[in-house]
Amino acid sequence: MSNVLTVRSARVRADDQASGTVTDMVDFSDGSGTGPGTRSGTGPVPPRVVAYVERELPPGGIPAYRAARGSGARSFALWADEHRRERVATVVTLSATGGVATFQVLGAHGELIGTIVREKALRGRGLRTRWTVTQPGGPEAVGFKGRILWWCVWWLCLPLMALVLVFSVLDGTPGNEGGLARGPRRIRWRARGQLPLEFRSGGDKLHLHSPALDWRLGAALIALLRSFMPGSWDGRKK
């Protein structure tokens, strides 16, 4: 059974906006609908928050961050609590040019947890967006966005997508923006014949199949993945 990570945002009341707490978070569950620490006979335990994720702004603030992210750059912190009392990890951009962005995930003391490379479709080494995840001393795990078959079907149906997009927007279901008009998004990573990671578009969930994978690297990866999707958590103007 795999562990599962998701990103969600808390609803903040108007009178709480001045509190300055972090409202975007990463949830963890063991894949069975229960969280860590579940004991037999006690019933299901809901997923628990393992990190609060927040963009780290450069000089120039939000406008500068939003301008830089257009090239693929990202920078954010993962905190142990919403009040930023303890840092869990940090994501920094080493380079972002020509559609290829390289990120480092660092621990609380600056130690390297892992490296993530995103190569945009048609700009990197293939027709699909490629994600490469590496832990120190471990093999590269390579995943491609969507399956070739579904991309072919999607392109063949492209003339109908505009109409589908209109209906999905009017449908009003949270998280369904774009609906079927979105391109295939599922990603399966391969490393030495194994499947250590899998992103499932249904629910935007990242499954950690390998017990050797550092959950902090997984948390950083799901935050990165979600930052490159419509309605990204880090693209807000405020």
Task: Convert the pLDDT of each residue in 174-207 to its tens digit.
Answer: 333 344 445 567 899 999 999 999 999 888 999 9
Please tell me the least confidently modeled range out of 45-49, 55-59, 66-70, 86-90.
45-49
In angstroms, the CA 211 to CA 169 distance is 39
Structure confidence at residue 177 (pLDDT): 38
Confidence of residue 31 (pLDDT cuts 50, 70, 90): low
| pTM of the entire predicted model | 0.82
Return the number of other C-beta atoms located less than 10 Å from residue 71's C-beta. 13
Burial, 225: exposed, middle or buried (Cβ in 10 Å; 0-12, 13-18, 19+)? buried
Structure confidence at residue 29 (pLDDT): 93
User: pLDDT for 81-121, tens place per residue?
Assistant: 999 999 999 999 999 999 999 999 999 999 999 999 999 98
Structure confidence at residue 227 (pLDDT): 96
Comparing 8 with 203, the larger pLDDT belongs to 8
Nearest CA-CA partner of 140 in 105, 187, 192, 102? 192
Report which residue type is found at 165.
L
Structure confidence at residue 143 (pLDDT): 93
Structure confidence at residue 2 (pLDDT): 86
Report which residue type is found at 4.
V
Structure confidence at residue 62 (pLDDT): 96
**Region 60-73 average pLDDT:** 95
Structure confidence at residue 206 (pLDDT): 96
User: pLDDT for 142-175, tens place per residue?
Assistant: 999 876 554 455 455 555 555 554 444 433 333 3
Residue for token digits 């750059």?
73
Structure confidence at residue 231 (pLDDT): 86
Structure confidence at residue 149 (pLDDT): 53
DSSP designation for 137: T
8 A C-beta contact, residue 117 and residue 100:
yes
Query: Which secondary-structure segment (H or E) carries 217?
Result: helix 215-227
